[in-house]
Structure 1
Amino acid sequence: MAWMAWTLPTAIFFGVIATLLVLFTVLAIRAPETPRRGVLRIETTRGDRLFITLLGAAFINLIWLAFVGPTLWWALALCLVYAAAVFRWV
C-alpha cells in the first residue's frame, strides 16, 4: 500500500473512526436504545446520529479547505460543536 500516504494523522483518523464504531457497538449491546425524534422529525438512534455527525464533519472540513485553507484546527472545533448539537437535538 505504498500508494497511500499513511502518516500519523491518517492513522489517528482511522483509529478514531474504528474506536467509535466499536464503542457504539458495545453501547448498543449493553444499553439498547429506542429511537427518538429530533428536529429532523425522523427517528434516529445513536448510530444514526454518529453517521450524520461524520457526514457533516466531512462536509465542514471540505468547505473549510475550499474557502479557508489547510489549517483545520478551527474546523475541528466547529465539527465538535456540530457533533454536540447533532447528539443533543437530532
Structure 2
Amino acid sequence: MKISSIIISTLCAAAAGVIAGTLIAPDKGYKTRRNLAKKGHNYKDYLQDNFDDLSDSISHSFETLEDETKRLSKKAKANAKEVKAMVN
C-alpha cells in the first residue's frame, strides 16, 4: 500500500471520527471544542512523528545507495584498468 493512501485514509478516518463525535457529543459546546482541539493537536503530533520517521528511513536508504554506488564505481574502474593492462 502506498504511503499516500495510508495518510489519506488516516486523515479521512480522523475527520469521520471528529464529525461523529461532534454529532453525538455529550458535553457542552466549549468542552467539545476543547476536546477536539486536544485531539487535533495529538493527531498532528502523531502524523509529524511518523513523517519524521519516514523521512529518516528514506534518507538512510539513499545514503546506503550512494555508498554502494561509490563502491561499485571504484570496483568497475579497477576492473577496467586490469582489462586495459591485459590488452596492452
Q: Which bin holds the TM-score, normalised by the shorter protein?
A: 0.3 to 0.5
More helix by share: 2
More strand by share: 1
Q: TM-score, normalised by structure 2?
A: 0.44
Larger radius of gyration: 2
